[in-house]
């Protein structure tokens, strides 16, 4: 039986769970504040004031004495439930990220035959197809460049061995093929846009 590991990207999933817990805590604080101020409003109301104020004070006493232990236990149970649900949903994000990193690492190590793929439940089929198209484009160009380079080296060695100057003309064609294969890619970083010169204020004169 294959065991499913839900905690595979600890940093990413920990931040996700922490964010969810923070959101839940903020929502609870907002709810309790609304209930508290609503209760204060009812306590000051002439129609409900007397009876509600007494009930409100009794409720606060019961919460601080009789029900505090149960409330703490209930809060811990809710926190655990939120953590488990967050862990499950964070795995839906961390799983594809983990697999993407592993595939990229293999490509960096030189294995260009790997394919990007995700689980059907991840719904990343279009992303996998786009990544594979990009990888195939670079791989095909590198294969062409490698093949042309191999042929040019062989032709150069043959020309040197035979001392045939005319054979060197074929190297020019091979170099053009290599250049065409590499020209499909832009290796130069885009230069930052020149910042506009500051405008001279009206009334200013040059030195």
Contact 171, 158 (CB under 8 A): no
Phi then psi for 116, rounded to 5 degrees?
-75, 130
Q: What gap in Å lies between CA 61 and CA 146, rounded to an integer?
A: 81
Q: What is the pLDDT of residue 194?
A: 47
Contact 82, 24 (CB under 8 A): yes
Encoded tokens for 113: 């035959």
Q: What is the pLDDT of residue 1?
A: 42
Q: What is the pLDDT of residue 188?
A: 60
Q: What is the pLDDT of residue 72?
A: 81
Q: What is the pLDDT of residue 120?
A: 77
Domain boundaries, the chain: 10-94, 125-182
Burial call 39-51: b when 16+ CB within 10 Å, e when fewer: beebbeeeeeeee
Q: What is the pLDDT of residue 121?
A: 74
**Secondary structure (DSSP) of the chain:** -PPPPS-S-HHHHHHHHHHHHHHHHHHHHHHHHHHHHHHHHHHH-TTTHHHHHHHHHHHHHHHHHTSHHHHHHHHHHHHHHHHHHHHHHHHHHHHHHHHHHHHHHHHHTT-TT------GGGT-HHHHHHHHHHHHHHHHHHHHHHHHHHHHHHHHHHHHHHT-GGGGHHHHHHHHHHHHHHTTS--SPPPPPPPPPPPPPTT----
List the one residue out of 133, 132, 142 whose CA is nearest residue 181.
142
Q: What is the pLDDT of residue 191?
A: 54
Q: What is the pLDDT of residue 70?
A: 79
Q: What is the pLDDT of residue 51?
A: 64
- Is the overall model pTM greater than 0.95, yes or no? no
Neighbours of 94 (CB within 10 A): 20
Q: What is the pLDDT of residue 207?
A: 40
Contact 107, 114 (CB under 8 A): yes
Q: What gap in Å lies between CA 11 and CA 19, rounded to an integer?
A: 12
Q: For each of the chain's 207 residues, which pLDDT tens digit applies?
A: 444 677 788 888 889 999 999 999 999 899 888 877 877 776 676 565 566 666 767 777 767 777 777 778 888 999 999 999 998 888 888 888 888 999 989 888 888 888 888 887 777 888 888 999 988 888 888 888 778 778 777 777 777 777 766 666 667 677 777 777 667 666 565 555 544 555 555 554 444
């Amino acid at each position: 039986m294959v065991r499913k590991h839900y905690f595979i990207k600890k940093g990413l999933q920990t931040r996700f769970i922490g964010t969810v817990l923070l959101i839940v805590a903020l929502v609870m604080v907002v709810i309790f504040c609304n209930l508290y101020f609503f209760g204060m409003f009812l306590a000051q109301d002439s129609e409900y004031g007397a009876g509600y104020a007494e009930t409100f004070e009794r409720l606060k006493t019961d919460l601080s004495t009789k029900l505090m232990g149960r409330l703490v236990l209930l809060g811990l149970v809710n926190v655990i439930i939120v953590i488990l649900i967050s862990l499950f949903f964070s795995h839906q994000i961390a799983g594809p990220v983990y697999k993407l990193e592993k595939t990229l690492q293999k490509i960096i190590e030189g294995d260009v035959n790997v394919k990007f793929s995700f689980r059907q439940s991840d719904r990343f089929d279009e992303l996998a197809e786009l990544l594979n198209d990009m990888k195939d484009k670079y791989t095909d160009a590198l294969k062409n460049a490698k093949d042309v380079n191999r042929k040019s080296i062989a032709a150069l060695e043959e020309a040197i061995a035979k001392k045939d100057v005319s054979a060197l003309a074929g190297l020019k064609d091979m170099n053009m093929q290599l250049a065409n294969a590499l020209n499909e890619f832009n290796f130069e970083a885009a230069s930052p846009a020149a910042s506009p010169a500051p405008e001279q204020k009206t009334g200013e004169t040059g030195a």
